[in-house]
Chain A
Amino acid sequence: MTYTMTVSPDFSPDYIAGWYIFNTWLQKKTGEGIHLKLYDSFDVQRKDIIDDKIDLIFANPYEAAMLIREKGFLAIAAPADKPDEAVICVKDDSDIQTVEDLKENCTIAMADDPQVNSVGMIMLEPADLNAKNISIEKQKNYVLVAKNLINETAEAGFFLLDAYDNMSKFVKSQIRPIITSEISVIRHIFLVGPKLSNKAEDIRALLNDMHNEDKGLKILQSLGFEAWENQTQEDSEFMLDLIDTLSD
């Protein structure tokens, strides 16, 4: 039997090769056939999850509720020291210094990352801003969000901290962060679906140990982190409780 693995569509294009190598590594270690399927949209990926076509997933935290509470996935690991934080930026020479300087009817640019957008909206609340009194400019990726700021077609933009950090010096020199979230418990997690539940503990052990092996460490670095960290069921449950309080 061949299983299907997928990755949250918000992964950076720099890591595509890394995910293929990770998949090869995981197949060798588990002795299972695993096919890696990548998506460029959350909606299409979500549909395949609902149709039980996915067995392993490196998921956006926002998707974790459905995976764990409705689809019976088990969370087993998360990248160590790599929480999903959001940053709100403005154009470098903008007058805006704090979130409170943003006014009703302003335009906010964002990409298609439900977690970043949810935290971004929360960081706008102190300015009495919400989805009803701002204009939203949805972009395909964070470079285009930055372009909106540079071209002054949006007053502020939401970024995943990691995406912001990895942007070119040239782009970064033209935009300025005004606030960064420090939530720390919300992060992408690796989950195993019901068809592989009898292998979940083996996979957990493999991932937890991966950085201790030279080859494993190199693969992890090609995914942008240094080690997997164990994610207990309670870690995930609490993350879901927390996300739940942020989502309305």
Chain B
Amino acid sequence: MTKVQINYYDGSQSEKTLTDEEIPFPEGKLIVSRTDTDGIITHCNQAFVDMSGFEKDELIGQPHCVLRHPDMPSAAFKDLWDTVKDQGKKWRGYVKNLRKDGSFYWVYAVVVPNVRDGKTVGFASIRRKPSRTKINELTETYKAMLAEEKKA
């Protein structure tokens, strides 16, 4: 078990005790959330609430990085934002998410811009169960990316 300090966008911080307990993805479900164009959570489904370990009203109105796990490299999220916001395209990737209690869960996420009358009004992330092979691959990749980021 390790303690980490988490720094949020809005300047607030919290200390979390990380555990190496992985919570399995709920079978057959999709974990869905939507944000405004700044990444503030506007909607989510019950699977999202259940998996996060937060209450729904602790999530709505918060920046999406409340789920950020310190094992995730920044470059992955930069790529996400560049793809959906700057290029207006779909982003696909594997994400390790942090739960309120410090445990984690892996997802395969597809993030899309919500385009209405030609304007992007927000983004949605639809997450599904990833394969163990991919999780193992990405664990190594992210470890290497994170090590690079720490060097810089």
For window 72-120 of B, CB contacts with A under 8 Å fall at 90, 108, 110, 112, 114, 116
Q: Do the beta carbons of A181 and B126 come within 8 Å of each other?
A: no
User: Which of B1-9, B58-66, B127-135, B139-147 contacts the other chain?
Assistant: B127-135
Main secondary structure of the interface of A (DSSP, over half): helix
With an 8 A cutoff between CB atoms, is A123 at the interface? yes
| Band of interface residues on A | 20 to 34
Enumerate 12 A-B pairs (CB-CB under 8 Å) in ascending A order. Answer: A122-B128, A126-B25, A126-B132, A127-B131, A128-B131, A128-B133, A128-B134, A182-B47, A185-B32, A237-B114, A242-B124, A245-B110
For window 191-247 of A, CB contacts with B under 8 Å fall at 234, 237-238, 241-242, 244-246
Q: Do the beta carbons of A237 and B116 come within 8 Å of each other?
A: yes
A185 to B46, CA, bound (A): 12
A241 to B45, CA, bound (A): 15
Chain B residues within 8 Å of chain A by Cβ, number: 25
A123 to B132, CA, bound (A): 14
Q: Do the beta carbons of B90 and A244 come within 8 Å of each other?
A: yes
Residues of B within 8 A of A182 (CB): 26, 28-29, 47
With an 8 A cutoff between CB atoms, is A139 at the interface? no
Known: A182-B29, A242-B32. A126 touches B124 (CB 8 A): no
With an 8 A cutoff between CB atoms, is A143 at the interface? no
Q: Do the beta carbons of B129 and A241 come within 8 Å of each other?
A: no
